[in-house]
Chain A
Amino acid sequence: MRGAAGRGIVPLLIPALIFLVLLFLYPFAYGLFLSFTSAKGQFTFGNYLRFFSDARDFRTILVTLQISVPVTLFNVALAVPFAYYMRRGIKGERIITFFLIVPITLGTVLISEGMLTFMGPAGWFNQLLMALHIVKDPFQFTHNYLGVVISLALQGFPYAFLMLLGYVSGINPDLEKASQMLGANKWQTFWKILFPLMVPGIAIAFSLNFVMAFSVFPSAVLLGQPSGPTRVIAIAAYQWAFEKFNFNAASAISMVMAAIELIVISVVLVWRNRMYKGATMVGKG
């Protein structure tokens, strides 16, 4: 907007802009600066070169993607049908929502602790599985790849679900009826009408979930094998910063993390724009 009203808004935005600069842009710019300087403060590409040539560090990108991409896809793919099913509200919706919000409020560490006891070799879950003769020996749910994935699913799914639920229930219910009256069955209505209208929501849910999963740290340490199979990129950054006290190298790794997240989000947004070429509103009529 370029009218008089648009200009009037700018002064009102100043406090928010200051906040944004101090809280986000400054640390980011400082990190970017650190990543391109050596310990003595000279300009260098060395931090990046070191990361990409160190097989053990470079591998963390792949390890993290192997964890975060499947778990994000799983969370979103599961959230879509759940949100669809609950779009007009169902019985017991409050209770379901409550149980979904609990993991969010508990926080990562508490969930990890809980999972360690609940799903550990001597935990209830394994005892139940053995009692039901589903497994003979305790199944290894923790201290491996699976443990990290499960904890990320527990934390990420509620976000994806609640976000998509808000999105689908905002779609004008008459659109579904109209589609049906034009001859579409439930399946066709879902794929031709609801899904395309959910795409912007799916894109946002995917991006947020992916960023959360890609920067995973506590679960990877507590529930995984941080020395090997689940040595995610955040662990690498942590070790350089707080074990080797090389903030320049750690900053470079953080920048690589940010770059990968940006790339993935860009891909998602390109997909979104290709799927959803219509208006940006959600068909409120």
Chain B
Amino acid sequence: MKDFKKISVRNMTKRFGEKIAVNDFSLEFGKGEFVTFLGPSGCGKSTALNCITGLIPITGGEIWIDDECIDDSKNKVSPEKREFGMVFQNYALFPHLSVRENVAFGLKLRHIRHAEIAQRVEAALKLVHLDGYGSKFPSQMSGGEQQRVAIARCIVLEPRLLLLDEPLSNLDAKLRVELRYELKALHERLKVTTIYVTHDQTEALALSDRIVVLRLGRIQQVGTPSEVFSDPSNLFVADFMGFKNMWTAKVESLSAKGERLEATLDAQGLKLVASLAWPEGDSRRAVIEEAHRTGQPMRTAVRPEDISLAPRGSHNSFECAASIVEYQGQASQVSATVTATAGPGLEALRVDLRSGTLISEGEVFSASIPPEKLLLFPATESAAEASRWTP
């Protein structure tokens, strides 16, 4: 394997006729990194991945490995010469070849000695816990086993970059968790640079060093799992990361509290305090100050998990009436209406929360939101658009 320090994608764009599937995509991958492309169906994850492999020609931009340009949208190093490995969603095992022959396929093309091929194939199969399966054919294996063969077939070649396009999405829930764990372990061992495509936020959070959130072909946010999880950069990412409660709110007052910015909000009559971890100089401060000045409403968001049942009088507490309670074992998913916002001619604010104690439908209870769990975003999207996101 040719060694390298980083792979850089610069302003990569892919058009299908009028449609822009990948728009001005720039990103650097460090060697050994595990990067995940996360986004809803049709956001361009697979297209971006296939552009990086060279299987799809790019319309604009460049791809570099250190100081070697492998694609400048006019000339490109063909996919088979990039030394990248790809694992397909449907495994794409060669049905006429045995497991051993599938794994040996790439090695044979490289004219490696038979003895070495045999030894490397066995080692790769062992790595994915498939020793002894060598003479089986793909059709005789389960989905999970087939996916392991597909992974072995790639890593046996020690690729510079390993790309996986929703590799677990055809498996059942239990197997998905199992294989996810194995993928993680494999990455810990081999440290192969990996790009992983998924629409499942749990997978992305569990596996990645960095997550790239995509929407309509554009990068929305790049960050570590905890950054993306707790500090989404816009409404879209917040929605995707499970901030199910999104309310339109006016900013009533602002005050700096050390590194944080405290905002008092009015969401349809529900008074809330948000404590935002935006240090001095954060560009987001300007946006909120502007909104405060003009009275332009913003959107505030909070996760159901972050709302707790609390007595009246604690921070941001309010009374609500449960309308739908979904029992989920450890906790219940509760959908309730905020009583303070209900009234003639008003549409009551809906709140989704999780409760460890049992609540019955119709029950009135008190809930509270820790101020630091409330996020604030410019309401650039209309409400309808915010809940759809897809083109």
Contacts and interface: CB of A to CB of B under 8 A. Distances in A.
Interface stretch (A90-98, A189-197, A232-240): A189-197
A277 B109 contact: no
B86 A283 contact: no
Given A180-B55, A183-B106, A192-B105, A278 B90 contact: no
Interface stretch (A14-22, A112-120, A148-156, A169-177): A169-177
A193 B150 CA distance: 16
A276 B139 CA distance: 14
B80 A177 contact: no
A274 to B, nearest CB: 12
B109 A183 contact: yes
Contacts of A172: 90, 92
A267 B54 CA distance: 42
A282 B109 contact: no
Interface string B84-125: 111010111111111000000110011000000000000000
A181 B94 contact: no
Contacts of A276: 96
Contact of B94 (A177, A179, A185, A277): A179
Contacts of B97: 278
B157 interface: yes
Contact of A279 (B78, B138, B150): B138
A181 B78 CA distance: 9
B80 A278 contact: no
A283 B83 CA distance: 25
B153 interface: yes
A177 B138 contact: no
B25 interface: no
A55 interface: no
Interface in A252-285: 276-279, 281-283, 285
A177 B88 contact: yes
B80 A181 contact: yes
Nearest to A181: B86
A178 B92 contact: yes
A179 B90 contact: no
Contact of A180 (B80, B150, B153): B80
Nearest to A193: B94
Contact of A178 (B81, B86, B157): B86
A188 interface: yes
B139 A182 contact: no
A69 interface: no
A279 B53 CA distance: 29
Nearest to B153: A182
B79 A174 contact: no
A65 interface: no
Contacts of A188: 109
Contacts of A283: 93-96
Interface string B51-94: 00101000000000000000000000011110111101011111
B31 to A, nearest CB: 20
B90 A285 contact: yes
Contact of B98 (A178, A184, A278): A278
B79 A181 contact: yes
Contacts of A184: 80, 105, 109
Contact of B55 (A177, A185, A193): A177
A278 B105 contact: no
Interface in B141-192: 150, 153-154, 157
A182 B157 contact: yes
B79 A180 contact: yes
Nearest to B156: A182
A278 B97 CA distance: 6
Nearest to A173: B92
Contacts of A196: 96
Contacts of A177: 55, 79, 86, 88, 92
Contacts of A279: 95-96, 137-140
Contact of B95 (A179, A183, A192, A278): A278
A182 B55 contact: no
B136 to A, nearest CB: 10
B80 A281 contact: no
Contacts of B90: 172, 174, 285
Nearest to B163: A181
A197 B85 CA distance: 23
Contact of A182 (B96, B98, B106, B140): B106
Contact of B91 (A278, A282, A285): A285
Given A192-B105, A281-B139, A181 B95 contact: no
20 contacts: A172-B90, A174-B88, A177-B55, A177-B86, A177-B88, A178-B86, A178-B88, A180-B79, A181-B55, A181-B84, A182-B85, A182-B154, A183-B106, A183-B110, A278-B96, A278-B139, A279-B137, A281-B139, A283-B93, A285-B90
Interface of A: 172, 174-175, 177-185, 188, 192-193, 196-197, 276-279, 281-283, 285
Interface of B: 53, 55, 78-81, 83-86, 88, 90-98, 105-106, 109-110, 137-140, 150, 153-154, 157
The 10 closest A-B pairs by CB, nearest first: A285-B90, A278-B96, A279-B139, A182-B106, A174-B92, A283-B95, A178-B92, A181-B86, A183-B109, A174-B88
Given A174-B92, A279-B96, A285-B92, 18 more contacts: A175-B92, A175-B94, A178-B92, A178-B153, A180-B55, A180-B80, A181-B85, A181-B86, A182-B105, A183-B106, A183-B157, A188-B109, A196-B96, A197-B95, A276-B96, A279-B140, A285-B88, A285-B90
